[in-house]
């Protein structure tokens, strides 16, 4: 077992690549950036590990300062303020998506899930602390990794001065963040050594998964179309007659885009924009089916709808297909690995919980 513990130093140096952030359009708010910074680990809390809490009196004083206690994990405190802070981003997203009772239920579930994640993380940090605290090589490696993470954070928001300015506005303590990052690296090293190390996905497992789920990999036909729309109001018969005339001219070889600019009464005709596939899928059934039935360059007969007559031309068609095994094997291998890693992580945490003293104040 001792030799296994010593291997953690190499795990920290060699097995912990920096997490690539998922960029959003525009500048990412600092709080969101810092919450996402450690990627696949549970959300980073401002929770003190066992080594950073001197005694129960200090822990209690800290909990009073930060807010009501939500849980104790072997004496370490998780507060209501910490849970709400880590839930800020998903709660904001829920407010944009849900209303009323559904919003309340969703918010309660988010807060419960975040608390569970913070408890799991605290268990991992405590276990890693026991193993690493007397190993100076590992401590030094963790310090360097944390410094690298912070430098990356500063670079992404415009340098140290901008980072500290934004941190002050967002209520983020850079020194506290550095300690959090070290703890997260410790937790990740622990999982790598004791949960993920022996995961092996065989070629047979990958192929079997492909064959079993082949229907799920099928890609539907996609089209991008141009439209000529003739309003039925004020005279539906005249509109139908006009649509037939325009259709015949398009079939005879006249430029469809020019005909659209001249006759169409939809918003995209004058700009020459195409309707993307995702837009086509939102149309009424009769319009959607007419557009999706077209082949490259084909022009549809006028299609009647409650508001008028529609003529479509398929400007780009991506046929339906099922990707080959060779195209998907790397993606499937990654999925199977991540699924197994997730299962082993939960099993490892379950074992830690059996030995832990956890008090939850829901």
- The pLDDT, as a whole number, for residue 206 is 97
Residues 6+ apart with CB under 8 A from 254: none
Within this chain, do residues 9 and 101 fall inside the same structural domain, yes or no? yes
- Per-residue pLDDT of 225-237, as tens digits, reads 999 999 998 999 9
Q: State which residues form the domain around 264.
A: 219-318
- The pLDDT, as a whole number, for residue 55 is 44
Instruction: Tell me what the mean pLDDT of segment 214-234 comes to.
Output: 94
Within this chain, do residues 241 and 182 fall inside the same structural domain, yes or no? no
Confidence of residue 166 (pLDDT cuts 50, 70, 90): confident
- Per-residue pLDDT of 110-155, as tens digits, reads 999 999 999 999 999 999 988 887 788 877 887 788 778 778 878 8
Helix, strand, or coil here: 341?
A: helix
Within this chain, do residues 48 and 113 fall inside the same structural domain, yes or no? yes
DSSP notation for 56-125: HHHHHHHHHHH--EEEEETTEEEEHHHHHHHTHHHHHHHHHH--HHHHHHHHHHHHHHHHHHHHHHHHHH
For residue 307, what is the domain's CATH number? 3.10.50.40
- The pLDDT, as a whole number, for residue 322 is 93
State if pTM tops 0.85: no
- Per-residue pLDDT of 266-301, as tens digits, reads 888 878 789 999 999 999 999 999 999 999 999 999
Of residues 107 and 10, the one with the higher pLDDT is 107
- The pLDDT, as a whole number, for residue 201 is 96
Of residues 310 and 147, the one with the higher pLDDT is 310
Separation of alpha carbons 172 and 81, rounded Å: 13
Looking at every residue in the chain, the average pLDDT score rounds to 82
Q: Does residue 37 sit within a domain?
A: yes
Instruction: Give φ, ψ of 340 to 5 degrees.
Output: -70, -40
Of residues 180 and 43, the one with the higher pLDDT is 180
Of residues 173 and 255, the one with the higher pLDDT is 255
Helix, strand, or coil here: 41?
A: coil
Q: Which of 175-179, 290-294, 307-311 has the lowest mean pLDDT?
A: 175-179
Separation of alpha carbons 187 and 35, rounded Å: 16
Q: Does residue 49 sit within a domain?
A: yes
Of residues 264 and 25, the one with the higher pLDDT is 264
Within this chain, do residues 147 and 263 fall inside the same structural domain, yes or no? no
Separation of alpha carbons 80 and 115, rounded Å: 9
Neighbours of 97 (CB within 10 A): 10
Within this chain, do residues 29 and 155 fall inside the same structural domain, yes or no? yes
């Amino acid at each position: 077992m001792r030799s296994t513990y010593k291997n953690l130093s190499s795990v920290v140096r060699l097995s912990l690549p920096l997490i690539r952030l998922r960029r959003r359009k525009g500048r990412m708010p600092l709080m969101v950036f810092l919450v996402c910074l450690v990627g696949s680990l549970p959300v980073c809390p401002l929770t003190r590990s066992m080594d950073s809490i001197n005694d129960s009196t200090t822990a209690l004083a800290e909990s009073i300062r930060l807010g009501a206690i939500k849980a104790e994990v072997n004496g370490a405190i998780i507060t209501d303020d910490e849970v709400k802070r880590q839930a800020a981003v998903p709660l904001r997203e829920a407010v944009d998506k849900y209303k009323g009772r559904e919003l309340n239920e969703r918010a309660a579930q988010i807060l419960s899930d975040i608390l569970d994640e913070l408890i799991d993380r605290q268990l991992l940090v405590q276990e890693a602390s026991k193993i690493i605290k007397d190993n100076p090589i590992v401590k030094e490696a963790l310090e360097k990794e944390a410094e690298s993470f912070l430098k990356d954070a500063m670079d992404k928001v415009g340098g140290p001065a901008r980072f500290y300015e934004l941190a002050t506005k967002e209520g983020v303590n850079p020194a506290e963040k550095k300690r959090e990052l070290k703890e997260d690296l410790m937790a990740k090293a622990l999982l790598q050594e004791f949960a993920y190390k022996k995961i092996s996905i065989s070629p047979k497992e990958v192929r079997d998964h492909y064959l079993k789920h082949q229907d799920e990999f099928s890609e539907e036909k996609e089209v991008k179309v141009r439209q000529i729309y003739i309003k039925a109001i004020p005279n539906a018969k005249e509109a139908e007659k006009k649509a037939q005339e325009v259709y015949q001219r398009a079939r005879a070889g006249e430029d469809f885009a020019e005909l659209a600019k001249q006759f169409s009464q939809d918003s995209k005709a004058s700009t020459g924009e195409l309707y993307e596939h995702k837009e086509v899928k939102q149309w009424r059934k009769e319009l959607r089916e007419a557009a999706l039935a077209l082949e490259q360059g084909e022009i549809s007969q006028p299609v009647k709808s409650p508001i008028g007559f529609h003529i479509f031309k398929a400007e780009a068609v991506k046929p339906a297909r099922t990707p080959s095994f060779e195209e998907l094997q790397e993606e499937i291998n990654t999925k199977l690995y991540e699924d197994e890693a997730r299962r082993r992580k939960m099993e490892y945490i379950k074992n830690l919980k059996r030995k832990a003293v956890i008090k939850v104040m829901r």
